[in-house]
Amino acid sequence: MRRTADYWIQQLQLTEHIEGGAFREVYRSPLQVAAAALPPSFGAPRNSSTSIYFLLKQEQFSAFHRIKSDELWHFYYGDPLVVYELEPTGALTEHLLGNDPEQGQQFQCTVKAGNWFASRTQLGGTYSLAGCTVSPGFDFADFELADREQLTKEYPAYATLIRELTR
């Protein structure tokens, strides 16, 4: 029997996420990386690593945002998840997370620090359960939610996608 999205939300104690979907932090390394060991843009120490559970239902999306760290995405359950990554060069990469390599799906992908990214369940799916690991660890001081107009000016070739995946 296939579990529902609501089952996972309850079992994993997920709550609403600012970028869309539901999440819960499950790990924050006690090891601190000194500010002097990080790029100057961080401005303060960070935990060496953090991780979360993250779930998107069919009608939800994770809005375009960026952080100062690399983010590793892991697929756990449900339907395939598309993670869209915009690079400063203007290139768009569509990472397809899932459990069927014959369909081009992979169990994990990495979004590079500073790149804009968003995600949603693949068309026709009902939900996707994933996890994200961030290193240096996630801090909301490093989080930037995209402005639709500004991002469209930077990446005009992807105006439709940006309109669909921003608030």
Predicted TM-score (pTM) of this structure: 0.95
For 57-111, the pLDDT digits (tens) are 999 999 999 999 999 999 999 999 999 999 999 999 999 999 999 999 999 999 9
**CATH number of the domain encompassing residue 129:** 2.60.120.10
- C-beta of residue 3 within 8 angstroms of C-beta of residue 49: no
**Would 65 be classed as within a structural domain?**
yes
Over the chain, what is the mean pLDDT? 97
**pLDDT at position 37:** 96
In a domain, 39, yes or no: no
pLDDT digits (tens, 9 = 90+) for 127-148: 999 999 999 999 999 999 999 9
The DSSP element (H or E) to which 150 belongs, if any, is: helix 148-154
The answer as to whether 38 is a domain residue is: no
Q: Which pLDDT belongs to residue 81?
A: 98
Run of H or E residues at 8: helix 5-11
- Residue whose C-alpha is closest to residue 52's, from 13, 11, 23: 23
Residue with tokens 């500073």: 114
User: Structural domain tally of the chain?
Assistant: 1
**Amino acid at the residue 23:** F
Q: What is the CA radius of gyration of the chain?
A: 16
Q: Over pLDDT 70: what percentage of the chain? A: 100
User: What is the per-residue pLDDT for 98?
Assistant: 98
Domain of residue 127 covers: 5-33+44-164
pLDDT-derived band at 1, boundaries 50, 70, 90: confident
